[in-house]
Structure 1
Amino acid sequence: MTEVARPGGRRTEVEVSQLPEVAALATELTKLFKGLEIPQQQYAVRVAMDKSTVSRYLNGRRVPTQDFIDRLFVELERNRGAAITQEARLTIRRMRMIALKVTDPQTFELEDLRDQVDRSHRRIKQLMRQQEALELLLDHKEEDAKNYRDQLEILRSDWIVENREKEASALEVSIENERIKEEKKNLQQEIEELKDQLSELADQRIDAEERCAELEERLAQAEVALAEHLAKQPDSSFPFTPTDLAHITFEAYSEERFHDAARMLSLAAVHFSPTEIANLFERIRHKRPVDSIRLLDDAIRFGSINSSASIAEAVVPARSSRTSWLYGNIPELLAASLANSKSTAEFKQLHDLWGNGGPYYPILRKSLVLWSEHADPGAVFNILTMLRKRKDTTNAVHVLHKCGERSEVDVAELVHLHTAAELSDDASILIYLWASLNLPGDPTSERTIRRAAGRLRRTYAARHPDDWHGQNNDS
């Protein structure tokens, strides 16, 4: 077999298509596909795939995934009204693995190990079922043996009691006794054989489990190795530029293939760099403003905090952070996406990047305020503690004021945390803010503040009776 490959690089699609193993697989898949009696473009729409990907798989320019083949079988069975034979499935699967071996050895090794692990698990389940059957059979045999022992005891008792009156039947009793003894002996032998089989089966199961554990370890190592290898390679799994994606999106909408447009934009959010996200955003925001916002939201939700910050910096470099825009303010939309998708630890990282002022400080402030509306009170307290340590009074005040608008239970929790940390000034601010929104009367009066403090303290005590030790004062 002659392999066509570029030295030191990955094969191009043309080179892949010239490999006989790949060509043989493509030929068989094309024969199967013709059974659907529909064009490739219609099939691509049906299975929500890009038509160029379907074409590459069927033309032999790329080895298809097993999911693609399985879905093709499903569509063929639906069209024919009959099931694909297991033999045909196995033949195509073997051809795919052979093609994969010559085009991508690492992925082949990974999938082969997965197959071996699956077979090991199936073997273990089979051995477990056999073991359960043998144990059940052994229980029946031992029950039979007990019955025979009981019968022997009954015979002996009857023979002793009736010996004098039935001396003539002694021979019959003896013969019956010998028969039962023989059956008992045979049964005991069967029991011993079953125990030997059960012991051997248990050993086989142990060996199978050890083999499975070894395969799973090799699989994990292979996955790590492949991930490291792919990390060093250019990403060819999503071979589109922002220009391509904009064109594909507009074309999909013009043909009313809305789900295809949404899917491609979601893939772009995962695969594109922050610069490419910003480029695509600029290309589609005038014609598809809502989709452009979803693109940013997906990219921020799917990406790391560093990637999210880079996206924001790429999208808002030449604009003031307060510039208005159709469907809202871009910085505020970015802040909302950050608030809805990032953790406490990630906000601390974001503060490292934007916390010293600058054009993105307003986005940081807005995202912290929005986040503090729904975050766990303990997490909010941790962020407030971080802001105080870093002397970021502006953000701390904004977050604290937003917390004063939260529910009675949440404010009670926050007041307790601040009081326990001896931050009485911030606790007092929270009490005042909550009282001004929820209690009648002047929130600045000592009487109103004392009422608010007492009510919040009782609310916390009702939810945490074991943690509450009370305080003598009311404020």
Structure 2
Amino acid sequence: MTDIAPRSPAGPGPLGALKPLDPELSPEVQAWAQEVRTLWSAVGMSVNRFARLNHIDKGTVSRYLNGRRVPGDRWFLDRLLAIQAEKGKQVSPQVREHLTGLQLEALQAAHPHEYRVRLVRDELDAAVVGQREAERYAAHLEHQLADRIRQLDEFAGRHGRLKAAWDADRAAMQEDRDHLTAEIADLAHQLDHARQRATDTEQRCQELEQLLDQLEEPSPPGPADPLPDVDFTSPVSVATLLTALWEVGAAKQARALADRAVTGCPVTHPAGVATLLKAMWQVGAADQARALADRAVTGSPVNDFDAVTTLLSAMWEIGAEEQTRALGNRSRQQQKAVTKPEIPQAPPPPRHTHSDPDATSPDLQMTSLFSF
């Protein structure tokens, strides 16, 4: 770290009063604490004064400097770098990135749960920034679209007034008009895309905020519901949350959510159940996926051919072959009772596993279940 000039630990500066680091600290925490001590020495401020000026407990500051505690947020590091910048010792972006990386590594080693919370919070901050950028871009496009529409209106009025005198130039004017019309259509398409991006990032922010609230909520001492506020009425929303929990390493919460979804989610929307089955399978909750498939066999409506086909395909992909055949039989009986003559029983498809690359295509085998 060439941008920070440390004082000698033996001198009278603030670092000289600190105790040596505990050799039993993990290597990641030791590396982080040593860099913080170096930065602290360059700041040149006592613990008492820093705590008083920044309204923080001096014991907390001491634990940070001794490696007994790793801060979970950016405030402590950012404050030290800001004080150094005020003294004319601005650090480079590379140094800031290096210090942030050391803090994250130490946080992961010392406080794994707070590390996961920090990752979700950082992703939420990035999503909020992305949402604001999308909204600014949408506003810019709206301004451009309004300007183009105004130009087109002006052109239309001028064209009407001068049409009689400009017969010779009508071809060129029509070309200009077509160009503006195409540009308006393109800008309108970009605006729709930008608005969709803003909507998607807002939804992602809400999902991440919900996940962050669940991760930051302290666990009770006894047995308790780990997911008290999850809305199980939408299988697609549950599938999205299940995938998000798995991606941030919250496997325990993901398993608990899968267990709850087996009995808590309705099976009245076959397409949504198909999405949830695939999500369970992808995060390793195979037993829960098959249990949910059992419920769908008897509980899902079979009057929507496309939705049932989607559900059957998902069941087949997760290896729930018996459930696939049972639901296929229900669908055939429903179709026969409504509009179709009796359908011959299709021969059972060959068995295959989820990971067998040579297995027969589910789409081809699904066709045999609906051979009217």
TM-score between the two structures when normalised by the length of structure 2: 0.49
Specify the structure having the higher radius of gyration (Cα). Answer: 1
TM-score between the two structures when normalised by the length of structure 1: 0.39
Which structure has more RCO (C-alpha within 8 Å, separation ≥ 6)?
2
Structure (1 or 2) with the greater helix fraction:
1
